[in-house]
Structure formats: structure tokens, C-alpha cells
Amino acid sequence: MLRRSLLLLALNLSISHAAETRTRVALAGDSTVTDKAGWGAAFAKLLGPNAECLNFAGGGQSTKSFRDTGNWKKVLDSKPAYVLIQFGHNDMPGKGPKRETDPATTYPENLTRFIQEARAIGAQPILVTSLTRRIFDNHKIRGELKPYADAATKVATEQKVPLVDLFTRSVNLHNKLGLAESDTFNPPNVPKTTGPQTTDRTHLNAHGAQVIANIIAEELHKVAPELAQHLK
């Protein structure tokens, strides 16, 4: 009995130690980064056994609300080795004063503060530009998130942090695919009892999430090779 107890204790300690030594990757972002509507879960599956992904992204979040609601504090409290940060969709005009930011001022200020605070706890921040909406004008992606993507790119240069330019990669991808093929990324329509049915060209189904996660992994191999070592 004693021997069995000691073996169980040793096993538990071994499991605990393995969990503690796994490289922790945190995700901070809006719904396009979440597990259910974005690329988060698909990205987590690309990590090897020595790394784990903690997804703190939330629907409707902007660089302003993510801090105000306490989500950013949860990211820091998790003590990650890396933090991937992607916002923009809910920072845009029309989202209300609790979320909106200006791509020329408050948006880059918020990103810079995220970077500085991540570094202060010993984490490596990595900026990810906004995933494009799959909305076409004259057979080309409209790209209304470009000011926010450009702002993030500028911050990454100024702060000398790795940048995954997901906006450019996703715009180029969907311009190449065209509308019909791009619609294979759409989640199923939610039935409505009133009003016209709308197609969701912002969020991702499982297929779309996998494609986008693969793009992010490809870019990480270029800009963050130390993290890329943990990818399958």
C-alpha cells in the first residue's frame, strides 16, 4: 500500500512538473481569435506537447474594452512566455464609446501599453494584424480594417516586436480565392425569426480557422523562430 501511494505521489509530481515546464502561449483578441468563432482552437492544435495555449480572446472585445473588462489582467496573471495580440474589428467607428479607438492615436497607444506590460512580466509580445472581413467590392476585398493593420505594423516596428501581418495575408488569400471560395470559410447561418437572413463573413468555421491558423504558423516561423520551435 505504501509503495503504491509513493508511486502515485511520484506520478502526480511528474505530471505537475511537466505542466509547469510547458511553454505557455496566451492569445489576446476579439471574436476572430476565439476558439468557437475564430482561429484560436485551430492554432492550439498546432502546438507540440511541450507548449500550451491559453485563449483569453472574447467576442466584442477591443483594445480598450479588453483592458477595461479585466481580460488583459488575466493574460498577465497567467504568466505566459508569449502573447499573441490581435484586435481591430471592435475598435472601429460605430462600436460605441466603450470600445472604439482611433487608429492614429488611442489604438496604437493601447497596443504599445500591452507590449510594455507583457515585457514587464518577462513575456514576448507578438502583434497580429486584424483578420480581414470577407466582404468584396468589385471582386476585391474591401479591406476596411487597413488603418488598424497599418497602425499595428507601425507599433511593431517602433517597439521592435515580431509582427504577423495576418491582414495582408488574409486579404491576398481571399482576393485569390474569390467570393464563392471565400464563402467556404463562413460559419453556418443562425436562423432568424424576424428580419432578413445575413451571411457571416467575419467569423470562421472549422475549415476557415484551420487555414488561418496555418498562415499564422507560417508567419511565426519567419518572425518568431523560438516560438515556432513549439509548432508541429
Whether residue 90 lies inside any domain: the answer is: yes
Whether residue 8 lies inside any domain: the answer is: no
What pLDDT is attached to residue 12?
A: 47
What pLDDT is attached to residue 220?
A: 98
Cα–Cα distances in angstroms (integers) from residue 146 to residues 33, 131, 168, in the given order: 18, 10, 9
Counting residues of the chain whose pLDDT is more than 90, the rounded percentage is 87
User: At residue 179, what is the residue type?
Assistant: L
Query: What's the domain range around 118?
Result: 23-188+197-228
Across 86-97, b (16+ Cβ under 10 Å) vs e yields bbbbbbbeebee
Whether residue 7 lies inside any domain: the answer is: no
Whether residue 5 lies inside any domain: the answer is: no
Whether residue 147 lies inside any domain: the answer is: yes
Q: Which of 8-12, 155-159, 177-181 has the lowest mean pLDDT?
A: 8-12
Q: How many CB atoms lie within 10 A of CB 37?
A: 20
Q: What is the CATH number of the domain that holds 113?
A: 3.40.50.1110
Whether residue 89 lies inside any domain: the answer is: yes
Q: Which of 9-13, 170-174, 201-205 has the lowest mean pLDDT?
A: 9-13
CA 37 to chain centre: 11
Q: How far apart are CA 208 and CA 32, in angstroms?
A: 11
Domains held by the chain: number = 1
CB 93 within 8 A of CB 78: no
Whether residue 15 lies inside any domain: the answer is: no
Query: What pLDDT digit, counting tens, does each position of 191-207 carry?
Result: 766 667 789 999 999 99
What pLDDT is attached to residue 146?
A: 98
Query: What pLDDT digit, counting tens, does each position of 18-70 carry?
Result: 445 899 999 999 999 999 999 999 999 999 999 999 999 999 999 999 999 99
Whether residue 10 lies inside any domain: the answer is: no
